[in-house]
Amino acid sequence: MADFLQVSTVTETREQAVELARSVVTGRLAAGAQIVGPVVSAFWHEGEFGTGEEWQLLLKSRADGYAALEAHLLNHHPWKNPEVSAVPLVAGSDAYLRWIATTVGPAPEQ
């Protein structure tokens, strides 16, 4: 498994996306979050085809913290069964990956 991940989810509103991003980043479960939207989604839900506008969150994190990040997203997301998926970051600049590595996890002692 890669050491770093980009984790994504979507919300119905910008405000929900901002709140999830804030809680994840301040909780040090992700080094940063990007909110993209609105995006148009097409999907199956409860046996019916639908479309709608959503706000996408892209979260940068370490693979060893994925379980905690996923649990937080599932616990704080306004939907009962939200998308939470991750893709490995197979490459990145040394400084960027170092930033993720040192930002995610317990706050450094001061």
At 8-48, the pLDDT tens digits run: 999 999 999 999 999 999 999 999 999 999 999 999 989 99
- 96 pLDDT higher than 90: yes
Residue 110 binned pLDDT confidence (cut-offs 50, 70, 90): very low
Supply the pLDDT for residue 107.
61
Residues 6+ apart with CB under 8 A from 104: 28, 29, 30, 31, 61, 62, 65
- Please tell me the distance from the alpha carbon of residue 45 to that of residue 58, in angstroms, as a whole number: 23
- Please tell me the distance from the alpha carbon of residue 65 to that of residue 54, in angstroms, as a whole number: 26
- The model's pTM is 0.90
Sign of the Cα torsion 72, 106, 101, 31 reads positive
